[in-house]
Amino acid sequence: MHDRPHWYQWPTILSLDAPAVSLVWEAALARVAGVHLNGAQRAVLALTVWLAYVADRWIEGWRLHPPDIRTARHHFYMRWRWPVAAAWVIALVIDIAIAFRALAWHDIVAGSLLCIPVLLYLLSHQLIHRHYAWRAPKELCVAALLTGGVCVFLETSTRLGVLALSESLFALLCFTNCALISAWEREVDLAHGQSSLAIDAVEHSWAIPQLPWLIVILSVVAYVGGVGPSRVVAGCAMASAVLLAMVDRLERRAGWMLARVLADVALLTPALPLLWKW
């Protein structure tokens, strides 16, 4: 894969998509929890998510042989391996400096504990256990880790019951996003020697396109039973799920490269009510 990337692919190539999704959902869930987040907490979340995604893609780009690469993002991390590594180290230093300078100790401890499963995921899924059939699906791991990162500074909330439902909707959206991408990029993963939900569970792959509609149903239930900010989050989850279903239909005509980008855009629905200062 040596073609020049389309302009709309650059947020994904530069790993900016996941931090953007994390920030808007962190802000939305903070409204549900009644927690005020400061700039340092937001910066640490964005940087940490970026570091994790870049590390994942950097390892993948390092592992692959150039003729086998099928995506612009992996080609980028292969071609610019050492400049990206330098940028990663700089971002890591900034992330740690912000954390120790501006975060409370309980936030530092919570964030540090979450880094352990992230490191274990990278070691296991990218290096040690790549071809082990028993390992947890990467889509499930990514959804769980991203949800943990988004909620790591909300653990002091006293509204844990209401927050748990909103967090669950976000986790399901992340899982659905990853599962759909695994179906669209099945041939890519096969060429890269990467396992995925669509490859490892072929007999159940029919269920992947149904996941957005499951989220729609759960979002309706959450909306009816919710109040205030939790209703807004339920509405955002419902909108994101419908958009993911539409992108899945579009992928058959427009191709996986555009669908891959739009699937992440579909998760940015909380940005609209946040801009309106709900």
Total domain count, the chain? 1
**Residue 260 located in a structural domain:** yes
Residue 243: inside a domain: yes
Would residue 151 count as lying in a domain? Answer: yes
So what's the pLDDT on residue 135? 65
What is the phi-psi region of residue 193: left when phi exceeds 0, alpha when psi lies from -120 to 50, beta otherwise? left
More confident residue, 197 or 29: 29
Percent of the chain with pLDDT over 90: 68
Mean pLDDT, the chain, rounded, equals: 90
Higher pLDDT, 208 or 227: 208
Residue 261 lies in a domain: yes
- Asked if residue 79 is part of any domain, the answer here is yes
Q: Quick check: is 1 in a domain?
A: no
pLDDT in tens, 93-122: 999 999 999 999 999 999 999 999 999 988
| Residue 1 reports pLDDT greater than 60 | no
Residues in Cβ contact with 199 at an 8 Å cutoff, skipping those fewer than 6 apart? 182, 186, 189, 190
SS3 of residue 67 by DSSP: helix
pLDDT digits (tens, 9 = 90+) for 216-233: 999 999 999 888 899 999
Domain of 198, in residue numbers: 7-275
Task: Please indicate, yes or no, if residue 125 is contained in any of the structural domains.
Answer: yes
pLDDT bucket at 201, cuts 50 / 70 / 90 = confident
Q: Looking at the domain assignment, is residue 117 inside a domain?
A: yes
Q: What pLDDT band is residue 246 in, cutting at 50, 70 and 90?
A: very high
List the Cα angle 77/78/84 in 5-degree steps: 40
More confident residue, 191 or 54: 54
Cβ neighbourhood burial of 162 (10 Å; 0-12, 13-18, 19+): buried
